[in-house]
Amino acid sequence: MSSLRKEQLISAFKQLGKYLSQPDEAFNLAVYSARNANAWFTEEEVNRSVKALAEMLNEADLEQWFENISVTTAPKKVGLILAGNIPLVGFHDVMCVLATGNIAQIKLSSSDNKLLPFILNQLCEILPELKNHIIYAEQLKNFDAVIATGSNNTSRYFEYYFGKVPNIIRRNRNSVAVLTGEETKEEIAELGHDILDYFGMGCRSISKIFIPKNYEIKNFFEPLEQYQEIINHFKYNNNYDYNKSIYLVNQQTHYDNGFLLLKEDEGLSSPLAVLYYETYENAADVMEKLEQQQEQIQCVVSKIPNEGLQPLQFGQSQHPKLWDYADNIDTIKFLNNLN
């Protein structure tokens, strides 16, 4: 197996980014195929994911990211169990394995088994040497390390099966926003992307907001009206109707703008089409509480500065950089340490 060089890899990912910014007809057919296989993967949501990926693969960020990467000359086989909750969510893990010169043994999610192989095939067209570094498998075997993404339940099985090799095992995480009450309409409208992009199904999707006591809910709902078309998606609509009927039957207090339910709850993980909220008197107390819950949180969106949480700006939770690793575990550091 020929050794990969850092310059080759940077160039290949840069070219892939350019391709994704101007997809061709072959890609449109792959999107059509993915949409038929998974009703959540609408053309709009797939294009949103591809655009975010193209933005991530910009030359400056690639150069900066690769500064901390060692490309091995003795590749290890890294088993990848990928999620499929949003389009191409597993790409970054595959990219990390390839960027370090290792071999990706990929178990695709049945929910996202069309788009990723197509894009990886495009990458191999750009850099043919990568064909020897990508293996698709129904069942992982003969691996040297594992990166597995699943739920809190599946993580127990992952730990049992993969606990004897170096591993990263990811569990459920949620993202939250902390509002001050002084946000502009434009900022709340941007927050709508953080909440509703990908139908709120990503770990970077905001599932809960913290608001000051006596916060005017209309100040939150009105800027979100531009997203009302989401209710026309039949699966999303089914979830909205189901949760609304439960709250009405059980006489549980909630707000409803016709496509999103807002319910007071101390939990972090809200059902689909529902956003939890919690009121506060002191913002510093909220930030301290979230720092203590970091193991359950993917990212925080807020204008309130906090060194530990490093809050994102409104509208940015679904646009991770190359170095924004899932669960805040540095995947590159993990892979570099295998050799």
CATH number at residue 80: 3.40.605.10
Predicted confidence at residue 3, as pLDDT, reads 77
Predicted confidence at residue 1, as pLDDT, reads 53
- Indicate the pTM of the whole model: 0.94
Same domain, 29 and 137: yes
Three-state SS for 148? strand
Predicted confidence at residue 81, as pLDDT, reads 96
Tell me which residue of 82, 57, 63, 72 sits closest to 103, measured CA to CA: 72
pLDDT tens by residue, 184-223: 999 999 999 999 999 999 999 999 999 999 999 999 999 9
CA distance 55 to 313: 17
Same domain, 219 and 248: yes
Alpha carbon separation from 167 to 48, 171, 200 (Å, rounded): 30, 13, 28
Residue segments in the chain with a per-residue pLDDT below the cut of 50: none
The answer as to whether 274 is a domain residue is: yes
Backbone angles phi, psi at 136, to 5 degrees: -100, 135
Same domain, 197 and 113: no
In sequence order, the 6+-apart residues with CB closer than 8 A to the CB of 59 are: 14
DSSP one-letter code for 101: T
The answer as to whether 56 is a domain residue is: yes
**Number of separate domains in the chain:** 2
285 exposure class (CB count in 10 Å sphere: 0-12, 13-18, 19+): exposed
Predicted confidence at residue 2, as pLDDT, reads 55
7 exposure class (CB count in 10 Å sphere: 0-12, 13-18, 19+): exposed
Backbone angles phi, psi at 294, to 5 degrees: -60, -30
Partner residues linked to 183 by β-bridges: none
Same domain, 13 and 158: yes
Q: Which residue do the tokens 């053309």 mark?
A: 43
The answer as to whether 267 is a domain residue is: yes
What residue numbers bound the domain in which 267 lies? 174-302
Same domain, 150 and 288: no
The answer as to whether 52 is a domain residue is: yes
Partner residues linked to 135 by β-bridges: 105
Predicted confidence at residue 214, as pLDDT, reads 92
Cβ–Cβ under 8 Å, residues 135 and 103: yes
CATH number at residue 276: 3.40.309.10
Here the tokens at position 333 are 């550091």
In sequence order, the 6+-apart residues with CB closer than 8 A to the CB of 227 are: 192, 196, 259, 260
Predicted confidence at residue 23, as pLDDT, reads 85
DSSP 209-239: EEEETT--HHHHHGGGGGGGGGGGSHHHHHH
